[in-house]
Amino acid sequence: MTEFFNGIAPIAYEGPDSPNPLAFRHYNPDEIVMGKRMEDHLRFAIAYWHSFAWEGNDPFGGQTFVRPWHPQDRMATARTKADAAFEMFDILGQPYFCWHDADIRPEGDSFAESLKNFEEIIAYFEEKMSIRKVKLLWGTANMFSHRRWMSGASTNPDPDVFAYSAATVKTCMDATMKLGGENYVLWGGREGYETLLNTDMGRELDHMGRFLNMVVDYKHKIGFKGTILVEPKPQEPSKHQYDHDAATCYGFLQKYGLESEVKLNLEQGHAILAGHSFEHEIATAAALGVLGSIDMNRNDYQSGWDTDQFPNNVPEVALAYYHILKDGGFTTGGTNFDAKLRRQSLDAEDLIAAHVGGMDICARGLKAAAAMIEDGGLEDALKERYAGWDSPEAQAMLNSDFDTIFEKVNSGAINPAPKSGRQEMLENYVNRFV
């Protein structure tokens, strides 16, 4: 046991009226929503990086957090960090967690030494997971922090970095499979450019496409049954990132023949950076058949950078889950809290309260989304709006041609009559549930 969370009891569901700051008011894992346990719908995961690896730095200042696992550059403290992380998993009782290799092990002096450190911690995790319910939602490789990745990983102009990246992802996929992970995520931290003046974009995209094909080949070679996910983000740290948003990623996957092999992990903050809403990104991925998993957080609407705050907006979260439920809900995916404390929130209690609040917000959003699905008001409005397409004539038109359609319109048989889109009525409808 570490001393870090000393005295914080496992969080219990106490109902909406509880004044206890460390209790769930809405997240009740066993409550049945649309025929399924709430825990099985939401599939919460805790992100190792923000909660345990990040030290509170921002672009203007360094570390603010003081933790028993600092400094993080040695194996002994990596174990202490793991002890604290699994203690937090016991307190929150969420079913999953996620990591990057660099979050969990100190960097070695060579690739082989980093791998040795990594494998030792993976074995330590395996031991801890064997006596707990917590599972791995996904693993991923950090190919953006160390200086070797400053010009990208698979898109780096230096083939040696492409090689180092391939070897790194192989080890992270091996570890993910070893721990029974349900997905493997690729995030293009620096797969993009700072300036087009020194960038051969076509070549970089081809290299990224080839790299992702190697990931899929390796998945099949080792028999990994999980889903390969790509996480869209438009910029930051790079000026421009190739995995800009859901629609751009889909075009990329199609070009490189990967659209049936790879799905998307969508993040609220990245959607906002791309000038979209979270709801838009989820609906886009669902429409294209590539909705995989979500990173739940919130960006500040004024700051223009990726603030990764814990979610606290029920109407936004409700519409996100509405589209997820409409798509059939998560299969291997889940709700990963890619969210961090504010750097003034120094205490262990802050870390617990942040997750308790986030889980409660998601539970409220899920319940509102389920109520809208069960009521069927939005679906009925859609049916009514598109009802004209139910006629055999309208369906036949889709299989005809311009000349046939022209004859009909020109004869006077077709004369469109505009109908209300009823947006305010629908917004009022949604507000009854959130």
Interface ranges with Mn ion (CB under 5 A)? 267, 295, 338
Residue 82 CA to residue 311 CA, distance in Å, equals 25
User: Residue 248, Cβ neighbours under 10 Å: how many?
Assistant: 15
Least Å distance, CB 58 to Mn ion, is 18
Please report, as a single letter, which amino acid is at residue 62. Answer: G
Instruction: Find out whether 350 is annotated in a ligand binding site.
Output: no
Nearer to Mn ion, 124 or 337 (CB): 337
Instruction: Find out whether 308 is annotated in a ligand binding site.
Output: yes
Asked if 207 is an active-site residue, the reply is: no
Burial of 133: CB neighbours in 10 Å, binned 0-12, 13-18, 19+: exposed
Nearer to Mn ion, 25 or 298 (CB): 298
Nearer to Mn ion, 117 or 227 (CB): 227
CB 180 within 8 A of CB 230: no
Instruction: Find out whether 267 is annotated in a ligand binding site.
Output: yes
Instruction: Find out whether 270 is annotated in a ligand binding site.
Output: yes
Query: Per-residue b/e over 337-357, b at no fewer than 16 CB within 10 Å?
Result: bbbbbebeeeebeebbbbbbb
Copy the structure tokens of residue 312: 């606290």
Residue 394 CA to residue 390 CA, distance in Å, equals 7
Least Å distance, CB 338 to Mn ion, is 4
Instruction: Find out whether 295 is annotated in a ligand binding site.
Output: yes
Least Å distance, CB 100 to Mn ion, is 11
Instruction: Find out whether 338 is annotated in a ligand binding site.
Output: yes
Residue 24 CA to residue 94 CA, distance in Å, equals 12
Least Å distance, CB 255 to Mn ion, is 24
Nearer to Mn ion, 174 or 295 (CB): 295
Catalytic residue among 101, 103, 245, 360: 103
Residue 121: helix, strand or coil by DSSP? helix
Least Å distance, CB 321 to Mn ion, is 18
Q: Kindly tell me the sign of the dihedral angle through the C-alpha atoms of 309, 310, 315, 319.
A: positive
Instruction: Find out whether 231 is annotated in a ligand binding site.
Output: yes
Could you give the angle at the alpha carbon of 200 between the alpha carbons of 197 and 202, nearest 5°? 140
Residue 81 CA to residue 2 CA, distance in Å, equals 9
Residue 255 CA to residue 270 CA, distance in Å, equals 23
* Nearest Cα to Cα of residue 235 among 197, 209, 273: 273
Residue 240 CA to residue 2 CA, distance in Å, equals 42
Query: Which DSSP string do the residues of 258-295 spell out, in sequence order?
Result: -TTTEEEEEEHHHHHHTT--HHHHHHHHHHHT-EEEEE
Least Å distance, CB 239 to Mn ion, is 19
Catalytic residue among 100, 244, 276, 280: 100
Look up tokens 């409005």; give the residue: 381
Q: Give the chain's length.
A: 434
Q: Kindly tell me the sign of the dihedral angle through the C-alpha atoms of 148, 115, 1, 19.
A: positive
Q: To 10 degrees, the CA torsion angle through 277, 314, 318, 250?
A: 30
Asked if 103 is an active-site residue, the reply is: yes
Least Å distance, CB 414 to Mn ion, is 48
Least Å distance, CB 267 to Mn ion, is 4
Helix, strand, coil percent values for the chain (each to nearest 5)? 50, 10, 40
Q: Which residues carry a binding-site annotation for Mg(2+)?
A: 231, 267, 270, 295, 306, 308, 338
Active site residues: 100, 103
